[in-house]
Structure 1
Amino acid sequence: MKRILFTFITFLLLASAGAQATVVNSGVAPGTVYVASGRTGVFTVTWQVRTTTGPSVTSSQGEFYTAGRAGVLLGTVPLTLSRIVTAGATALITESVNVPQAVIQKALGLGVGEFLYRRSYNDPADASLIPFEVRIVITGAQAAGLSVNRQAIAFDDNTPVRIVAPRLFLGAWSEITLSGSGLVEGVWEIAEPPSTSGQAVFRTLRVVRQFAQGGAPLRLDSPALPTNSPGLHLLRLRLTQPLPGFDAPEIRYFVAQPGATPVARELRVLSPGPGALLEENTRFTWAALEGTQSWLLVLYERPAGLAGNLPELGAAPQPDAAELAQLAKAAPAAGIVVPGAQTGVTLSAMARTHLKAGGAYLWRVLGLGQDGVVLGESPWRVIRVP
């Protein structure tokens, strides 16, 4: 009786052991690989497959999937891998994997920057499949020749400078011109009062990651900008991948003090003279004004009819009431903010790119207090772009 019972228990133990998985995932090397967008990727992986029974392990095909429970099948590799291995041993199976460009583009089209290459192994003694995975990250910057040619930034009304009332909605955008395709990463950053009175301190508003394809301009919108604190704010989109060969351009806005009323004291302009030609070294200068924390120099494009009939230097006419009414509805072509202790500035190369050759522009200077109130303004003057 004891012998029968022992035999029965032994049978149950063996049956129980047979019901357990006999293939064990002992690892994948490397666990992460990188491919560039816009081209076929290639990588080599070693599957470390251990079996408790033997005599072999097999995987019928490889599969590309997006990550997550509801992974999307991106493509397959119809290649069977099999190795003979003794019980308790680990088989090292090396595979060279081609990642088709179509698979990479399909992942990009789903808005993901990485996906998985998966193989499932079993052995003849066990029908269950044990998954093994490699993480594939789409880079595309250096590998795909991605580079930044130009970056523009403006507020949602296409202006580089704004004065807004408290708690008014304000947004901005940046357009990036690139060569190549791949992942673009950046950070929307803002500097707020009181740091903008001295050395500006930027904080992160939003991290952005988006794929650019085929060299088409990429537009990235900012989150809603803070407008609760009166004073000067600086905004930029700082690119972190690929790194541009220039500093991130900044735009500025002022939040006015609640209930503040502008004081229109007249500012005296020193240079350039009326109707002057704009050169690289043309310096805009003006007289100081007590209480001014910053200056705002703005340039507006003048209608073509007036621009084509400007008199010679020193005789450019002032805009009439009708033209001033048009300016009130128009966005400035260029603008620059100057610290209050400084009473002169030369237009940067970036600012000059917004001005058309052969055009004429009306310009003026505004003096702003710490709370964004307009303390003074200069008369309009005309400047011409050769």
Structure 2
Amino acid sequence: MNRPALKRSAKIGYRLALLCLLALGYALPSSAQEVELCSSMQPCSVARPVVIGTDTTLSVVWRGRAFFDRIGDVSSDVGYFTLGDPASSEPLGMVRRPLMERISGSADGQPTAFSFSETLTVPAAISTQAAAQGARELSYVRPFSVNGIPVTGVQTLRLADPAAPLPNTARSLPENSEVTASGLILRRLALRFDDGAPVASVSRDEALHAEAIIHYDRAGLLEAVWEVATPATTRGQPVFRRLDNVREYLGAGQQSSLRSPRLPTDQPGLYLLRLHLVHPTLEQNGTREPNDIVLRYQVSSRSTHEAQWVPHLNGARAVAATLGADTEFTWPAIATTHAYQLEFYAQPPEPDVADERPGPDRVPNRFTREPTTGLVLKSNTRSTRLSSAVLHRLEPGTTYSWRVVAVDASGRVLAASPLQTLRTEEE
């Protein structure tokens, strides 16, 4: 074959290869299209603005849709704040709090819509820095993994000038009502559990949250305290202790909801929960009403954890002398595993069990503290290196305890490797 013919053949081969690559490129997004997050059909939302120069706590709602095989995982290691295009802007600050939600799939194999809330605090320094650059909005960005598919969620946070006139200030005050410094007037408070019921009965260690529905006029700062009375005192005169502080700006609107922190369920017996209003208090017919709305929930002695000690996951190891970007973690397969969790602890964790250890071939199901960071990996994964989000949470010159955990489709722990330690390099 002469040289021109060879050149023509090479060109034809190149074009065919390019067409194949383009076809593959157009085919790949089809799987990504199975996942929606913060889309026009599944919009994410933040109801309240960020008050410039004030630490502002918001309830951020993430919404999406995806195909899930029985139970799927939606996880994110880190979030960050930016101005302008999230893809090209430098982060103003990081939120180093992992999120993980387990979503039950549809029985008919159709896409499942999901939503969950994140309690987000925007530091005063972030909003001040954004305002100094002339911004009226702030972007809150989280890279998520939905069934192992990477997808990014972006929330738009409005910035509010604390010196600007408050929304709804045109409303006239009811006769005999006191004008508060914030202008906020609370009309009604209702408490309920996540399922909408006024009472709840759960197993020991089961996750439980409550919600406060607040009806109000005007706008301003709400200060309150979630308080709980445990079974140690509810048999007689209840003694309430602080569970969490609430400090949230309520803007334009007439209704808002506050989600409680996770409620204690570690002891069997009766618990009482209330939201104690510090400022302002309820207004009814021109007089202040006491905050005596209380929720009751009963915790049974049966634990939701099937086993406190689980079998060894033997053979998990780290192929490196130090902990870093090149460290490879490997482990063997465990039958019926739905996902693997790689967990890191900055402090040596203590087993969350009261019984004596049943034998040397078993390890704790869980510990008294949550992991500092980690990864959730698909069931066919046998090795991994750390993502940049995980590496960002590791401090230099620090020794971390780590382990690999195998869980089934219901989230039950099947096996876990014994704790091992690795130290990050000094800066």
- For Structure 1 versus Structure 2, the TM-score category normalised by the shorter chain is 0.3 to 0.5
> TM-score scaled by structure 2?
0.30
Q: Please give the TM-score of this superposition, normalised by the length of structure 1.
A: 0.33
